C-alpha cells in the first residue's frame, strides 16, 4: 500500500535535487510548453498550435518529423527579443531542475524582420548574462552550431562568428557544434571550416553516426578528433558501425553525449533497453547522459561517475 504513494515523490525530489550537468541542449529544442505558449500568443497570425511543437508523453516521431518541428519553432523565434526570452526561460528551467552546469547550443539565424546572425548570438549571450545578474544558480556556456543544411559557405561564416565571440566573451562561447539533418550534405564539405575552428581554439562537439550506414562519413568526422561526439548511435552497430570506429573512439577517449529519450522518441533507437548507452557503459567509456530536446521535462539528467565527468574536463574545468 505504501510503495506507489511514497516512493514516487521521493524519486522525484532526489533526481531534481541531484546536481547535474547538461551538455547537449539545443536551445530551440529545449523550449518548454509554457514558453511556446507565450511565443504563440505573440504571433497569433501564424496559427501554430503548441502541439505542433511538442512530442507528447508516450508518443514518438520520426527523425524527419522532429526536424520539421524545429522549422515550426523557428517561425516563432524570429526576433532578438524572442531569442532573449527563450534563452532566459530555458536557463531558468534547467536551473529549477537542478542543473548546475549547462551548455546551450544553437545555430545563428537571420530573419526577414531584421535579426542578423550576430544579433542572434548577442541575444543568447544577453540571456546568459541577465540570468547571471539575477543570481540564478547555474553556470551557462554556449556552443555555436553549424547546421548541415547551410552547406560549407554558411559554415565558414558561422566559424568566423564563433571565432569573434570566442575571443570577446571570456569563456562563454566555448566551441562549435555540427548538427542538423544528418541526411543532408557530406562531412567532407565541412572539413575546412571545422579545421579552421579547431585551429582557433574552439572545441568541437560533432553529431555523428546518428543514422545507419555512414561509416565513411563518420570516419571523416572522427579524424578531426572532436572533443565530444553527439549521439554516435550507430558506431557500434551492425548497420554501418564497425569495430574500427569503436576502437578509434576508445583509443582517443572521445566522450559521447548520449540522449536516451531523444533517440527513442525520434525512433533512431527502438527502446531504452537497446540503447547504445549500455554498450559504452559496459566498456567504461567516457559518456554523459543528456536530454537534448523534444522532451520537455521527463528525462533525468544525471551525473555519472566522477571518472566519466573528468573526461569532459574542458567544459567542466570550472565545476569539479
Ligand atoms: Zn543534438
Residue 267 has pLDDT above 80, yes or no: no
Pairwise CA distance, residues 122 & 80, whole Å = 8
- Determine the distance separating the centroid of ligand 1 and the alpha carbon of 157, expressed in angstroms: 21
Mean per-residue pLDDT over the chain, rounded: 83
Domain architecture of the chain: domains with CATH:
20-302 (3.20.20.140)
pLDDT tens digits for 70-83?
Answer: 778 888 899 999 99
Residue 179 has pLDDT above 70, yes or no: yes
Residue ranges with CB less than 5 Å from ion ligand 1: 230
- Determine the distance separating the centroid of ligand 1 and the alpha carbon of 299, expressed in angstroms: 15
Tell me what the mean pLDDT of segment 104-114 comes to: 93
Q: Which of 122, 163, 210, 217 is catalytic?
A: 210
Residue 301 has pLDDT above 60, yes or no: no
- Determine the distance separating the centroid of ligand 1 and the alpha carbon of 2, expressed in angstroms: 40
The pLDDT of residue 144 is 98
Strand positions, DSSP E, the chain: 20-26, 99-106, 139-147, 173-179, 203-208, 228-231, 256-258, 287-289
Pairwise CA distance, residues 21 & 285, whole Å = 18
Q: How far, CA to CA in Å, does 163 sit from each of 56, 171, 197, 248?
A: 38, 12, 7, 28
Residue 293 has pLDDT above 80, yes or no: no
To the query of whether residue 5 is one of the catalytic residues in this protein, the response is no
- Considering the chain, what percentage of its residues have pLDDT values greater than 90? 50
| Residue from 162, 160, 30 nearest 104 by CA | 30
- Determine the distance separating the centroid of ligand 1 and the alpha carbon of 6, expressed in angstroms: 35
Collapsing DSSP to helix, strand or coil, 234 comes out as coil
Collapsing DSSP to helix, strand or coil, 104 comes out as strand
- Find where cell 523565434 sits: 77
Backbone dihedral region of 250: left (phi > 0), alpha (psi from -120 to 50 degrees) or beta? alpha
pLDDT tens digits for 25-42?
Answer: 999 888 888 898 899 888
The better pLDDT of the pair 314, 130 is held by: 130
Amino acid at each position: 500500500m505504501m510503495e506507489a504513494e511514497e516512493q514516487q515523490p521521493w524519486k522525484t525530489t532526489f533526481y531534481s535535487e541531484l546536481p547535474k550537468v547538461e551538455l547537449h541542449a539545443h536551445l530551440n529544442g529545449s523550449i518548454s510548453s509554457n514558453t511556446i505558449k507565450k511565443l504563440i500568443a505573440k504571433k497569433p497570425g501564424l496559427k501554430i498550435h503548441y502541439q505542433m511543437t511538442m512530442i507528447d508523453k508516450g508518443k514518438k516521431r520520426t527523425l524527419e518529423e522532429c526536424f520539421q518541428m524545429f522549422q515550426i519553432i523557428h517561425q516563432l523565434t524570429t526576433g532578438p527579443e524572442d531569442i532573449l526570452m527563450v534563452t532566459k526561460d530555458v536557463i531558468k528551467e534547467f536551473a529549477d531542475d537542478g542543473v548546475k552546469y549547462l551548455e546551450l547550443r544553437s545555430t545563428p539565424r537571420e530573419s526577414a524582420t531584421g535579426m542578423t546572425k550576430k544579433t542572434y548570438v548577442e541575444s543568447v549571450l544577453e540571456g546568459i548574462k541577465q540570468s547571471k545578474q539575477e543570481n540564478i544558480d547555474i553556470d551557462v556556456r554556449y556552443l555555436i552550431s553549424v547546421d548541415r543544411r547551410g552547406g560549407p559557405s554558411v559554415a565558414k561564416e558561422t566559424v568566423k562568428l564563433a571565432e569573434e565571440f570566442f575571443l570577446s566573451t571570456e569563456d562563454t562561447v566555448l566551441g562549435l557544434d555540427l548538427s542538423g539533418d544528418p541526411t543532408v550534405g557530406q562531412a567532407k564539405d565541412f572539413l575546412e571550416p571545422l579545421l579552421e575552428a579547431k585551429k582557433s581554439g574552439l572545441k568541437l562537439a560533432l553529431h555523428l553516426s546518428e543514422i545507419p550506414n555512414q561509416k565513411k562519413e563518420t570516419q571523416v568526422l572522427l579524424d578531426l578528433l572532436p572533443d565530444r561526439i553527439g549521439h554516435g548511435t550507430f558506431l557500434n552497430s551492425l548497420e554501418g558501425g564497425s569495430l574500427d570506429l569503436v576502437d578509434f573512439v576508445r583509443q582517443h577517449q572521445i566522450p559521447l553525449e548520449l540522449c536516451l529519450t531523444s533517440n527513442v522518441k525520434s525512433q533512431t533507437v527502438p527502446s531504452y533497453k537497446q540503447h547504445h548507452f549500455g554498450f559504452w557503459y559496459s566498456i567504461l567509456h567516457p559518456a554523459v547522459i543528456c536530454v537534448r530536446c523534444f522532451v520537455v521535462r521527463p528525462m533525468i539528467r544525471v551525473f555519472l561517475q566522477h571518472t566519466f565527468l573528468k573526461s569532459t574536463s574542458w567544459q567542466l574545468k570550472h565545476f569539479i
